[in-house]
Amino acid sequence: MSEERHDGTRRSGGPRKAPEIFDATLDLLAEKGYEGLTVEGVAQRSGVNKTTIYRWWPSKGALLGAALTGARRLDVELPDTGSLQGDLEALLRTVVTLLTTPPGSDVAVSALGAVTHSPELAGHVRDFFADRIDRERPVFDRAVARGELAADADPMLLVDLLAGAAWLRVVLRQLPVEKDFVSRAVSTVLNGASITRR
C-alpha cells in the first residue's frame, strides 16, 4: 500500500495509473521494439499526460525498467506446493508460459533483444532478474527446512539451469517445448541424469 500524495500520485511505485502505463509500455515494446518505444506513445495509449510520466521516469529506459519489475502481467505468484519438485515445476511452467504466450512472449524477447542496443535497458533487465531471484528464495528456504535441499545449495544455479533451458529452447532454438519438458527438466536437476551417480 503506497500513500497518496497531495498531487494525486503515490509516494512510491509511480502514479495512480502506473498499471496502465506499464501495460502500455510493454505493449509498445512488443509491437514496435525498443527503437519504436516512446514516452509520447505510452502517454497516448495509456491516456496519461506525458508530463506525468516524465515526472516519475525521466527516460523511456527508466520507464521500461519500472514496467519490467512492476507490471502485473510479468508478476509471478510464488508457488508453495509442499515439495521442491512441485514448486520448481510451477516456477518453470510460468517461465515457459511467459516465453511462449503472447503478449508476454513478445515482451520478453523484445526486451532481450533491446539489451544489446541499450546499456541503460541492460541495467533494468539485470534488475529484473535480481528482483526475480530474491522473490524466489522462499521456495529454496522451505526446501532446506523440509530436508530436500542442502543448506548450502545454490538457488541461483538451480534457477539458471531451469529457466535458462526454457530460454534456450524457446528463444534461440525456436523449438516447441514438449509436454513433459518442465517435469523432466526439474527431475533432471533434482535427481540427476547420470545412472552412475557418485
Neighbouring-strand partners of residue 88: none
Cβ(46)–Cβ(17) below 8 Å: yes
64 binds a copy of itself (CB under 8 A): no
Under rule CB under 8 A, residue 126 binds a copy of itself: yes
Specify whether the CB–CB gap between 89 and 182 falls below 8 A: yes
CB of 46 to a copy of itself, least distance (A): 24
CA–centroid distance for 176 within its chain: 20
CA 92 to chain centre: 12
**Residue the block writes with cell 520478453:** 108
Residue numbers 22-61 binding a copy of itself by CB under 8 A: 33
Written as nine digits, the cell of 139 is 521456495
Q: Does 117 bind a copy of itself (CB under 8 A)?
A: yes
150 near a copy of itself, rule: CB under 8 A: yes
* Position among 73, 122, 142, 183 found at the interface with a copy of itself (CB under 8 A): 122
- Give whichever of 62 and 190 is closer to a copy of itself, judged by the CB atom: 190
Beta carbons of 162 and 190 less than 8 angstroms apart: no
Kindly state the smallest distance separating residue 9's Cβ from a copy of itself, in Å.
31
Which DSSP symbol is given to 101? S
With contacts defined by CB under 8 A, name the span among 9-17, 47-55, 61-69, 124-132 that binds a copy of itself: 124-132
Choose between 53 and 165: whose C-beta lies nearer to a copy of itself. 165
Q: How far is the CB of 5 from a copy of itself (least distance, A)?
A: 34
Instruction: Report how far apart the first and last C-alpha atoms of the chain are (Å, whole number).
Output: 50
Residue placing its CB nearer to a copy of itself in the complex, 24 or 149: 149
